[in-house]
Amino acid sequence: MPFVARYDLAASTQRILESLERHRVHATFFAVGALALERPDLVEAISNQGHEVAVHGWHHEHLDRLTRRELDLLGHGLEESGAAIQSVTGKRPVGFRAPYLLGPTFFDPAVYDLLAGLGYRWTSNRELRHVVQLLRPDRLRTDRPWRLAQARHSTFTGVTGRLLKLALNASVWRTDRLGGSTSSAIRWLGSGCPPFYRGSLLEIPLYSPLDCDLLGVPEPSVPTAESLLDFARFALLSTLSQPGPFTMLTFHDWIIAGGNRLSLLDQLLSSLQEIHVQAVTVEESWAELTACSALPRDSSVG
């Protein structure tokens, strides 16, 4: 958390697991590597309910531009935590999301080479910005824009929405240049941003806004205004319901399990059932993800 606050990790984990069990869905849990050594009971509880355990760094450190020594320490930590996870789940983790999404570049060849050498198969660090984030009511000091957008879905699917998406994701086609050129990155953005390979690792982009992008970073014990929760539900459903083979919900445990915010997870999981979206783990959808992957396997920063 970006502040010091009282937080019961075990209780929050249990609340999330109970919500997922109520809706009979599986999820991918990104655990900080050191946690696997400190709290193997929580990792075991997550795995025992059929959820996938992936890794979220070693000590939640910044991974952008590591020195050789720092990279070696990360490798040692990930090796140790991978063995610990395997000892309680029966299998080593193969998924990785970097703390801070490896920003500001969202990709570092040295880190990806390290992960591939440790047996990881996929990552999820390519952040995408979504038009709906511009309508956040606590920043605009009014909920009128998102209420209007709720009544006019073309706000996100029409020409204006597509142009705004390109503008918001300028860093992708200006610097990352997926596929090796600006034009290929623009085409990728326009095609729904399918998964793609960075070397041997499949990169699965973030297909919906992070919870902190919509709700801020509240302390676990502090409730969120119902009006902001309403907006977050609308924002996430607007991305979940857009055409495409995959979408994604991403929550921080200390945000979604705190205050009154678990209701948001429950409401969204119920809504997924209503629009016939199946909630599964990366592991469970691996064949479909690789079949839909775009760009050549040697794609990287151009």
SS (H, E, C) 117-146: HCCCCEECCCCCCCHHHHHCHHHHCCCHHH
Between the alpha carbon of residue 265 and those of residues 36, 246, 285, the distances in Å are 25, 18, 21
* Cβ 189 vs Cβ 166: under 8 Å: yes
Tens digit of each residue's pLDDT (9 = 90 or more) over 85-133: 999 999 999 999 999 999 988 999 999 999 999 999 999 999 999 999 9
Q: What is the three-class DSSP state of 204? A: coil
pLDDT at 274 over 90: no
Out of 10-19, 41-50, 123-132, 160-169, which region has the weakest mean confidence (pLDDT)?
160-169
pLDDT of residue 159: 82
pLDDT of residue 176: 85
Phi and psi angles of residue 123, each rounded to the nearest 5 degrees, phi first: -135, 170
Q: What is the three-class DSSP state of 184? A: helix
pTM exceeding the 0.75 threshold for the entire prediction: yes
